[in-house]
Amino acid sequence: MIARYGIGYDNIDVDAATRFGIVVTNVPDYCIGEVADHTFALLLALARGVVAAANDVRHGGWEVPSAGIKRLQASRLALIGIGRIGSGVADRALAFGMDVVAHDPYVADWDPRLERASTVEAALEGADFVSLHAPLTAENHHLIGRTELALPSDGAVLVNTSRGGLVDLDAVVEALNSGALGGVGLDVTEIEPLPADHPLRTHPKAVITPHMSFYSAEAQDELQLRAVESVVDVIAGRQPRNPVNADALFGGR
């Protein structure tokens, strides 16, 4: 078996594993609150200019920003993906008085508090904030590129705590420099670590964290336990709790 130590499994060739009768498992629900919290922390930091202001004070300044601070109440948040984490972000956004629109073609039981967009483009149109919560697949690589970044409102904020490959970072740099984007918050990038000379490392409108949104002491303990429990189940001849390729190997049981 292969026990994925985390949620995403785009780094495992599941089709090949299935052909060889290898069970693949993951831990899909161990850090839902942590990632939703981190997403909203990035969103708040960018909306309020917290990092830039704190750095200014650290270096001797004391200037109130004259632009770039965004009111959350009645602003429009577009969520791409409304699974466990996306739903958690929606709960937080609604508590702040934001209007939430979401796109997710795989969700049937829709939260009536959310506006439903039929396409990614429809969700992005006019959004003040955009947050990504989709798995990375061959079909949605660079889901957010130059065309998509032109759709939100001028100065919108983009947050990605999902998968780095969803976002074309060259297009993000262009959008930040042109003012089409007012800020970007990233916990994931297509290449990790982000290269030392990448312009987003020092861009004044970027807040980047080192793929840490999953982490808390409690989540780490839960992840370790659940991954090992999957291994024990397979060794004991039981179906593990979260098999990725259940339909092929267990007939969907």
Residues classed as catalytic? 163, 192, 211
Token pair recorded at residue 100: 């939430």
Could you give the C-alpha distances from 200 to 36, 122, 209, in angstroms and in order? 23, 27, 11
Say how far apart CA 72 and CA 209 lie, in whole Å: 22
Token pair recorded at residue 95: 């508590």
Say how far apart CA 238 and CA 232 lie, in whole Å: 8
Strands of the 156-160 sheet, one edge to the other: 115-116, 99-103, 76-80, 129-132, 156-160, 181-186, 206-208
Could you give the angle at which helices 32-48 and 84-95 cross, rounded to 10 degrees?
A: 40
Token pair recorded at residue 42: 């990035």
Q: C-alpha angle 36/184/43, rounded to 5°?
A: 35
User: SS3 for 102?
Assistant: strand
